[in-house]
Amino acid sequence: MLRGKAFLADLYRTSRKAEKFLDLLTDSIIEYVYFLRRLMGEPEVNPDSTGLCDDCAAYIPPRLWDTFVLPYWNKYFSNLTKGKRHVHVEGLYPQHLKYLEKAHISHYDPSISPKLTPKIISSTIKIPFSWRLPGFQYPYMTPSDVEKWVYKSYEEGARELYTVVEPLMCTKENIIKVKTFIKTCKKLKENNSA
């Protein structure tokens, strides 16, 4: 984001400089996290887990991940936790997924990723993942559609389902759909924990 669209050209035109930039950027992010953790009285290295949000990684073609993503993710995680690695990346393609396993990711949140489905994820990698019903879909769905979405997502392999309440969802019609989402998830959990 600091380099804008020029960074994508850097990957090809000045790849060594791009690698140095990513290395320095990762160092800066790690130091910032250390600062925040010290400020909050937490250990710099979390023994249990840490998370990373990196939607920009989706802009990098899968064949370049070994050079321009994985080394920096590994540096980030190995300096911030001795435990589990959680990652949020929107917009990945199915070809990216195998790299999540190479990065030893413990949990994956694809959030809004139009090229993925729970079925694609669960058949490609063995990493637990969450699946989101985006707020912008609610106006176009009926309560029955929401219920079907929950069951279909679960059947395709998603074991964590969530939604984020946004202002556009705060209408009488959409609140009923959000309640349907919650009720269906609870019912599904009860049926599968028995």
Q: Does position 194 have pLDDT exceeding 70, yes or no?
A: no
Predicted local confidence at residue 13, as pLDDT = 87
Q: Does position 32 have pLDDT exceeding 90, yes or no?
A: yes
Predicted local confidence at residue 9, as pLDDT = 85
Q: Does position 193 have pLDDT exceeding 80, yes or no?
A: no
> 7 is written with which tokens?
């960074």
Q: What is the mean pLDDT of residues 108-124?
A: 97
User: What pTM value is reported for the model?
Assistant: 0.91
Q: Does position 120 have pLDDT exceeding 60, yes or no?
A: yes
Could you tell me what percent of the chain has a pLDDT over 70?
A: 99
DSSP string covering 83-137: SEEEEE-SS--GGGHHHHHHTT-SEEE--S-TT--HHHHHHH----BEEEE-GGG
Q: What is the pLDDT of residues 36-54, one digit of tens each?
A: 999 999 999 999 999 999 9
Q: What is the pLDDT of residues 167-186, one digit of tens each?
A: 989 999 999 999 999 999 99
Q: What is the mean pLDDT of residues 125-145?
A: 96
Q: What is the mean pLDDT of residues 146-162?
A: 96
Could you tell me what percent of the chain has a pLDDT over 90?
A: 89
